[in-house]
Amino acid sequence: MKIELSTPIENIPRVGPIFVKKLQKIGIKTVEDLIFHFPHRYEDFSNIKPISKATLNKNCSILGKILEIKNSRTWKKKITITKAIIEDKTGAIEAVWFNQPYLLKSLKQGDVVCLAGKISIGADGMFLSNPAYEKIPQKNYQPERKFNGSEKNEEDISLIHTARIVPVYPETEGLSSRWLRYILKPLLLELKNKIPEVLPEEIVKGYSLLPIEKAIWQIHFPNSIKLAKKAKERFSFQELFLIELSVLRERLKLDKEKAVSVPININLIKKFVGSLPFRLTDAQRKCAWQILKDLEKQRPMSRLLQGDVGSGKTIVAIIASLNVVKAGYQVSFMAPTEILAKQHFQEVSKLLSPFKIKIALLTGKEDKIISQKLKNELIEISRNKLLEKAKKGEIDILIGTHSLIQEKVKFAKLALCIVDEQHRFGVEQRAKLSQNKKAKTLKQTNKKHSLIPHFLSMTATPIPRTLALTVYGDLDLSILDEMPKGRKKVITKIVSPKEREKTYNFIRERIKEKEQAFVICPRIEATNNENKALNKKENSSWAQVKAVKEEYEKLSKKIFPKLRVEMMHGKMKIKEKEKIMKKFKKGEIDILVSTSVVEVGIDIPKATIMVIEGAERFGLAQLHQFRGRVGRSDMQSYCFLLCQSLTKKTKQRLAAMLKAKSGFELAEKDLEIRGPGSFYGLKQWGIPDLAMENLKNLPLVEQTRQAAKKILEEDPNLKASPILKDKVKKIGEKIHLE
């Protein structure tokens, strides 16, 4: 059977059903998936040494005959030890393997082998500890020959585990690097001249990249570390280039769509701004103007409004909504949680009360409508009635959760979608909010454009420049880099275990002044094993993970028995969480112990203290979000980072929380320390590993963006590069998520 890139892995010779399951578990389903499963590091065993010159604690390979090999068992630990004596012309050395008794079936006395590993020293002198091994046919045994991967024709090199630069792969249980090398070598030989070049020739030559076939060989079986690096650079470029092409083509696609042009009503905006009980910041004015100018255009706006917690994003969104509604159109406003949706509903209703606007709330379980004509009267209506009103255009602003993109939700004249903390909301999702089936049919037949709503996404997690240029590259950015006047900087402190009592005393003093506190824990409750460890007072790291339920018990009964302590977590019913938040907002709770459910959108002006337990377990961006829950008024606020273990690395990482002047600076630091996958949850986005690794490499990101722009200027539909077009489509499907 001929092997092609599309061949399923179950049809690869020497890959049985057990290995098929293991490969599929890590997302490898075809030959192409397998050959693009790249090594994450290399072992340099290219230095072949005569046995007499082997050096202690250094990697090397030796070539020789097995004089003796046998198994023995240790008396105490019952471990099988395999020992072999290897000899070459210069001397002999012992090789030792632990718990690998099956080696006696593979290696026999008289076999010629190449062994690779680190030289160690024991009671009987130097030995090779757990070396990699390969047998060499007797007829090929030439002690003088160097099997070091430097031959011109690399396909002739028979050694793949020793005597060369050896690839080490990301492994899963039962899929060793040795097995992957064993499968990949013949596969790559079979695929010679069958791997099509993805990148246009001018890109490969213009950026001095290795051609794809050479790069594939050199990334798996490199002749040198330098060539392995060149191969990695080629695929890093390719994967970022594909992402850039995908987002830029998305942008071009959007530019061809049609949207409602909403004129700016200056007098209306001035009246609204004048009615506010506070003064807008210059940043808010600038961002509002950028959005209003976008809404005037006949192509759909696609904009991301980003700013620190408390910088006033919602008010900017309300200005845009008011302008759209008074022009005769509708607005949808989507929030990630019911609590936040209800908070937006209350805030929008309050601020727009003088303007006779019908605002409704649609969540999983409740439907409410405020009719401004009826003096802000809150009306609870049935879901069907609310949906009917939206469909007829009798609701101006519909606020809700993901329920807004359900098929039953229809709008008569939707012109603006606002999404809070849900950035990947693309054209297809917006089309779900379109008005009728007829419009979609017309769009599909290309006879007429259906109207696509304008789109505004909001986030309190600042996006580093590299991410803004890649995965968010199809969005225009508006940045709120200024906080409302009167806000004091939150004082942040790292608290060691010894300083706990002092912190608790400080909290008591502040609560006496009618202030309130949050206590954040990484988990809801301890597992059974953790509880056992806690009962035995074991000092393991997992036993020390703070959990909401246990911390609530401790704080309410032992530490603050005279204070009003409550807890909240994600497993609670929405009604229960709302009840607690109402009590907290009214000042009926002194300390709220919670999980990360308070990370987004909770606004309690009298909460001045944020205590984060197990701070080392959170990323800097998330810690910054937590800290943003306090400092919402003119009172001085505090954030205490409580750590279970203050290692040097933890201190260094958390110190960034104290030094960073803004969330943007902190986001860059978080990206640098933890990488994009952990920073922004991108591991779930289907972004290839090499692209993920390089999302923090600004020069490379800018380089690939320029290359993508140039290609699209010359060939916007990629007609001249069908292979490239197919790859771009596939990566776009992976990363363009809600």
pLDDT of residue 684: 54
Distance separating alpha carbons of residues 224 and 325, to the nearest angstrom = 64
Which pLDDT value is given to residue 505?
95
Neighbours of 651 (CB within 10 A): 13
pLDDT band at 474 (very low <50, low <70, confident <90, very high): confident
Q: What's the CA dihedral at 229, 231, 232, 233 to 10 degrees?
A: 90
Orientation angle between helical segments 313-326 and 338-351, nearest 10 degrees:
60
Distance CA 511, CA 527 (A): 32
Q: Cβ distance 143 to 128 under 8 Å?
A: no
Is residue 66 helix, strand or coil? strand
Structure tokens at 201: 């020739």
pLDDT digits (tens, 9 = 90+) for 494-538: 988 888 999 999 999 999 999 999 999 988 776 555 444 444 444
Q: Which of 172-176, 453-457, 599-603, 621-625 has the highest mean pLDDT?
A: 453-457
The pLDDT of residue 397 is above 80: yes
Predicted confidence band at 463 (pLDDT cuts at 50, 70, 90)? confident
CB atoms within 10 A of CB 200: 20
Q: Mean pLDDT in the chain?
A: 84
Within 13 Å of residue 605, how many CA atoms lie on the same side as its CB?
4
Check residue 148 and give its pLDDT.
Answer: 44
Nearest to 567 by CA among 613, 621, 618: 613
Fold topology of 266-296+312-459: Rossmann fold (3.40.50)
Residue 662 has pLDDT above 80, yes or no: no
Confidence of residue 428 (pLDDT cuts 50, 70, 90): low
CA–CA dist 507, 313 (Å, integer): 30
543, pLDDT greater than 60: no
Annotated domain spans of the chain = 42-166, 232-256+687-735, 266-296+312-459, 491-661
Counting residues of the chain whose pLDDT is more than 70, the rounded percentage is: 86
Which pLDDT belongs to residue 151? 40
> CA 646, 647, 652, 653: dihedral to nearest 10 degrees?
-70
The pLDDT tens digits for 297-318 are 999 999 999 887 778 899 999 9
Query: What letter represents residue 318's amino acid?
Result: I
Q: Distance (Å, rounded) from C-alpha 82 to C-alpha 108? A: 12
Strands 476-480 and 302-307: parallel
Tokens standing for residue 37: 């499963």
- What would the mean pLDDT of 343-350 be, rounded to a whole number? 91
| Residue 705 predicted with pLDDT over 60 | yes
Tell me if 697 sits within 8 A of 466, measured CB to CB.
yes
Q: Is the pLDDT of residue 111 over 50?
A: yes
Query: How far, in Å, CA of 85 to CA of 113, rounded?
Result: 11
Question: What is the C-alpha to C-alpha distance for residues 184 and 34, in angstroms, rounded to an integer?
Answer: 8
Domain 491-661 has CATH 3.40.50.300: yes
Q: Is the pLDDT of residue 682 over 80?
A: no
Q: Is residue 273's pLDDT more than 50?
A: yes
Dig out the tokens for 222 from the structure. Answer: 């490199």
Q: Per CATH, which fold does 42-166 belong to?
A: OB fold (Dihydrolipoamide Acetyltransferase, E2P) (2.40.50)
Partnered with residue 96 across adjacent β-strands are: 83, 129
Say which residue, 688 or 425, is predicted with more confidence: 688
Token pair belonging to 274: 């004048």
N-term to C-term CA, the chain: 41
Burial 546-584 (b: 16+ CB within 10 A, else e): bbbebbbeebbeebbeebbbbbbbeeeeeeebbebbeeb
What lies within 8 Å, CB to CB, of 95 at 6+ separation is 83, 84, 85, 86, 115, 127, 128, 131, 133
Q: What is the pTM of this model?
A: 0.77
Same fold, 42-166 and 266-296+312-459: no
